[in-house]
Structure 1
Amino acid sequence: MNLPTPAVVAERSTHPIPRWALLLLCAAYVLPGLFGRDPWRNADLTAYGFIASIAQGHAPWLQPAIAGLPADGGLLPYWVGALGIKLLPFLEPSVAARIPFGLMLAAVLALAWYSCLHLARTEAAQPVAFAFGGEAHAVDYARAMADGCLLALIASVGLLRLGHEITPEILQLLGITLFVYSLAALPFRQWKARAAMLAALPVLATSGAPAVALALSVGALWLCYRSTYEDARKFLPWILGAMALAALVAWPMHGWAWRVKASERSVLDWLRLLGWFCWPAWPLAAWSLWRWRSHLMRRHLSVPLLASLVPLLTSLLMGADDRAMLLALPPLAVLASFALPTFQRSASALLDWFSVFFFTAGAIFLWLYYTALQIGWPAKFLANVRKLAQGYEPEFSLLTFVLALLGTLAWLWLVRWRTARHRHAIWKSLALPAGGVALAWLLAMTLGLHPLNYARSNKPLVDRIAAHLPKEVDCIAAPSLPTHALAALEFQGHWRVDATRGLDRTDCAVAISVQAEGTPTPPSGWKVLGVVRRPTDRFATYLVMQKDR
């Protein structure tokens, strides 16, 4: 039965974004931070530690470890990063490890675009046909919707930081986007859909999310079983095969782990997290579900809805975990794109003006801080930096300054374009949010890169610890340190670190322990060589100690 569609789209509303502009936007989003950025604590630096342990031969490929502590979860992300270091020996190791993850982020953007393209081409997703012609053509409509999906994904706040790390969640993000693409492309690209499904579930399972892979596969089996599309039913064996393959590879790669920790408070925390983390995709996705409510079981809604609900519920069960919620962003962006043909002009204008004021104010704020660091004005901004990051000395880079200036000028041009009565394209409402997020990341990774490295990296802590250590250090005992600090000591300080034995049983002559703020109290048999704090940490105190012989 053909149900009435809420999408009313004229031909003139389906002009696609120029390919050069779309590629430039993606480059401005993906490339900043690939070079010149230190691994940041906590998860980013920890993941780099496991990657470096394999690449530098400190641990076997099947059991990466930091200071003797083995990794938990899937091993595939650490293998990918280690291969990056092996294949790019001419680059600094942390940069070489980050390159494959940058490529995977680009692949996520591309797969989301193609997923929406194929879903928008289905018959149920087509807009109303006009009595006298002039309605959107199917291919043009699908391309414009795919452009809107990509803009919604780039505009998602939660993807901004987590999407640029080298953590297992990036592979999980790639896996769930492959899953959506597989079901979306099934009517048009059958062999690509099969290959994508065979890759999607094992990638999820071997990167620490086998339960998500299992839930998605069960949902996909149900959707395909009840589908009236014959090729969807023929797809069932491929889903079962991908399930079996995922289960098979998850066991030897330590993929299975039980991390449920929900509580009554988790629901409120989860709602607060959802409110900002998935902005602006979640309100648009909710509007899509409402306007297309009579089509919920059609492919263009049921596929992204399934792929959104599984990670959202997983996040809730894990105590409002933001990294689990990250996986919901690509399917939510696909859902959000179907709100665009039904979006009211008043809501579009509200989103535009919010984006203009918020991101312009943020850009001005960053430029003022940068000016204060370089020339000392405004003095209050400089005083704030000195207070928050003691010992920080600013640096000037002509390249980062030029890139930041070009990005700011591009933002001003985009604002001018959007406010100049260009009202036809259906993706127009997401141009400013996506451009603003890309600008924020570009300015943070140019104007703010050096101070952020100082504040978020453990390199300053390693330098301060090194000043108190003897010249010859055989090994450092550090049983109480967090994993990210162990990774910094081992792979930024280049010391042999042992976190497996307590201070009473260690053979190391030097030890480092962490304690809350207060008077340093070394354990019996140890003397304090120095007391160290990270420049931006007012609470944790690191004691550098030596055996009292």
Structure 2
Amino acid sequence: MPVQAEHARFRGIPLPPSGWTLAVLLALYICTGLIGHDPWKNDDAVTIGVVHDMVANGNWLTPGLAGRPYPDAPLYYWVAAAGSRLLSWLLPVHEATRLASGVFTLLALGFIHLAARELHGREQAPAAPLLLAGSIGFLFHAHEAQPMLATLTAHTAAYWGLTQLDRRPLRGASWFGSALGLGFLANGLAAMLPLLPVAAFVVWRSDHRQRSALLLLGSLLLACALAGGWLAALFATSPEYLAAFSQGELNQLGGNTQPLLNIQRLLLMLPWYAWPASPLACWALWAKRRQWATTPLALPMFAFMVALLVVGICLGARSAPALLLLPPLVLLAVPGVASLRRGAANAFDWFGMITFSLLALLAWIGWCAMVFGWPERLARLAVRLEPGFVGHFSLLGASIAILGTLVWCWLIVTSPRSPMRGIMHWMAGLTLFWLLIVTLWMPWIDYGKTYRQVSVSLAKALPETRNCIAGANLADSIVASLDYFDGIRTLAANSADGKKCDWLLIHGAPKDGSAPAVGGWRKVWEGGRPAERRNVDKLHLYRRDLKKGQPPGR
């Protein structure tokens, strides 16, 4: 075999990656970790609880949580519930639900690639999905049941529609209107509000301003038609639910009491949350400072500023809404990749390779400690953090982790020189680290985060025949987990029906003025996840003491 042919055979992935190569890389990143663990606290458990209620009770029009109305936009829940029905023979509801996140995330990565191609050309476009997938904040939410991912997809599709408004006006307006309407069904009006000023900005800069304005007016009508179908159905069948949903929308649009503080927190969050897109965007602004008036820079700059204001004022400085800041920031960062100076590009490349190689090594050492008890000090720390955990060797998990590590070593040795090499290595290293966490550490993480054992223990403490259970200070994630695992549902303790219950479940210590503090109740059970040792972190179950309290409710 000729030397040149042999060298080509062992050459790494061509850069920039394109076609099936890029698709496979992104699919591997997204699909890893969607299945294989229980619902976790906060958004993951709540979303799965809503989908479970929808699948079990058929409340497709009016999403609910553990038998209670849960006024929220339904698109993500519809997709997840449909997937759960189709895959019920193969996957439990919580794993099938997360597959919806995978679908929306892959669509978002595809749309951001198309938008970058319109703004910056085919050669630079692959940087956009690599930057979005490589953002640290994106990793946190891309693998959980998260309705904001559907909104992120709508935003990326809307940007793609707006970028082609001059070149293919009808298609661009159609995509924008569809994205706007479906985005409303994904998360309501406040989350889609940033796109309206951006659309006006695009019309103002258009070469055919009148035509673009008319087309965007038509796209708004299309959006209203898509969103109005659900709203009209609610008006006809569930006006109370529509009123509650509308009130929630008005509360968001009314803003919060500390908008400037929220904007400041978002800006302080971005350096790590949007890494490496944030420093590359700053470099692009500096390197292309004479081209700020051009559409490839002006559009994402304006979109980012508007998104920052709306998220800070209406949605708050939380991690999930901050996802909406990533698309314009990524589109702004794309030209920064190609224009990065050789020394800075090499430094970023080496930083990524060294960082994720060290993280991979630490992941392997931590796994050895959990499974084989070496290093001993680290093994004792793992047990102390999650009391009662016993590690077991998994041949499949270890084999996948070894294969991923070998592929990483091959990639960093064989990747050709390219301006995109640094972000390629960053995204691949992040994928490797997440793969190692999923295959090696997931049993330990899931052991500490799931409420499965807590729910089982609580179910054993409750008699089969009982009247209702009142709940106090229970977060939605706890309510969702108890209902999902064992069908345990509670009523609000301060409601008329809740006051008649013989059972009371409290999260944390009883506060002054609560029923146990006043008297007439006897504690029969307490429990929590392994790491929840403090009394304020545990669940406490009380039964009405018939000798001291009122007669049991009928």
TM-score band, normalised by shorter chain:
0.7 to 0.9
Matches within 5 A, 1:242-257: 242=222, 244-245=224-225, 248=228, 252=234, 254=245, 256-257=249-250
Could you tell me how far apart the structure 1 residues matched to 2:318 and 2:220 are? 29
Asked if 1:211 is matched to 2:190, the reply is yes
Q: TM-score, normalised by structure 1?
A: 0.85
CA deviations on 1:21-46 (whole Å, 9 max, x unpaired) are 32331122111122212221111101
Matches within 5 A, 1:511-526: 511-516=504-509, 522-523=516-517, 524-526=519-521
Identify if the C-alpha distance between structure 1 residues 78 and 504 changes in structure 2 by more than 3 Å, giving closer, same or farther.
closer
Aligned to 1:81: 80
Aligned to 1:128: none
Asked if 1:286 is matched to 2:282, the reply is yes
Q: CA deviation at 1:331?
A: 2.6
Aligned to 1:136: none
Identity %: 28
Q: Secondary structure at the match of 2:126?
A: helix
Q: Secondary structure at the match of 2:532?
A: coil
Moved more, 86-95 or 187-196: 187-196
Matches within 5 A, 1:445-524: 445-473=438-466, 475-499=468-492, 501-502=494-495, 505-516=498-509, 522-523=516-517, 524=519
User: Which one-letter code corresponds to 1:487 in the other structure?
Assistant: A
Answer yes or no: is the 8 Å Cα contact 1:220–1:239 preserved in 2: no
User: Which one-letter code corresponds to 1:323 in the other structure?
Assistant: A
Q: Secondary structure at the match of 1:448?
A: helix
Matches within 5 A, 1:402-413: 402-413=399-410
Q: Secondary structure at the match of 1:204?
A: helix
Q: Secondary structure at the match of 1:235?
A: helix
User: Which one-letter code corresponds to 2:329 in the other structure?
Assistant: L
Asked if 1:177 is matched to 2:156, the reply is yes
2:318 equivalent among 316, 321, 334: 321
Aligned to 1:44: 44
Could you tell me how far apart the structure 2 residues matched to 1:61 and 1:247 are? 15
Could you tell me how far apart the structure 2 residues matched to 1:395 and 1:474 are? 41
Could you tell me how far apart the structure 2 residues matched to 1:473 and 1:205 are? 42
Could you tell me how far apart the structure 1 residues matched to 2:226 and 2:153 are? 15
Q: CA deviation at 1:171?
A: 0.8
Aligned to 1:366: 363
User: Which one-letter code corresponds to 1:224 in the other structure?
Assistant: V
Aligned to 2:550: none
Could you tell me how far apart the structure 1 residues matched to 2:184 and 2:493 are? 28
User: Which one-letter code corresponds to 2:92 in the other structure?
Assistant: E
Matches within 5 A, 1:301-316: 301-316=297-312
Answer yes or no: is the 8 Å Cα contact 1:67–1:499 preserved in 2: no
* Dislocated runs of 4+, deviation >6 Å: 517-521
Q: CA deviation at 1:269?
A: 2.6
Could you tell me how far apart the structure 1 residues matched to 2:311 and 2:388 are? 39
Aligned to 1:391: 388
Matches within 5 A, 1:11-160: 16-17=16-17, 19-57=19-57, 60-90=59-89, 91-121=91-121, 142=122, 144-160=123-139
User: Which one-letter code corresponds to 2:31 in the other structure?
Assistant: L
User: Which one-letter code corresponds to 1:114 in the other structure?
Assistant: L
Note the aligned Cα RMSD (angstroms). 2.7
Q: CA deviation at 1:49?
A: 0.9
User: Which one-letter code corresponds to 1:353 in the other structure?
Assistant: W
Q: CA deviation at 1:263?
A: 5.4
Structure number with the bigger relative contact order (C-alpha 8 A, sep ≥ 6) is: 1
Q: Secondary structure at the match of 1:546?
A: strand
Q: Secondary structure at the match of 1:536?
A: coil
1:220 equivalent among 199, 205, 229: 199
Could you tell me how far apart the structure 1 residues matched to 2:341 and 2:30 are? 31
Aligned length: 510
Answer yes or no: is the 8 Å Cα contact 2:49–2:66 preserved in 1: no
2:530 equivalent among 531, 535, 542: 535
Identify if the C-alpha distance between structure 1 residues 505 and 267 changes in structure 2 by more than 3 Å, giving closer, same or farther.
closer
Answer yes or no: is the 8 Å Cα contact 1:180–1:307 preserved in 2: no
Could you tell me how far apart the structure 2 residues matched to 1:398 and 1:511 are? 45
Matches within 5 A, 1:192-207: 192-207=171-186
CA deviations on 1:177-211 (whole Å, 9 max, x unpaired) are 11111112334554542332122111222222412
Q: CA deviation at 1:103?
A: 1.0
2:221 equivalent among 224, 241, 257: 241
**Larger relative helix fraction:** 2
CA deviations on 1:432-457 (whole Å, 9 max, x unpaired) are 11111111221121111111211222
Q: Secondary structure at the match of 1:512?
A: strand
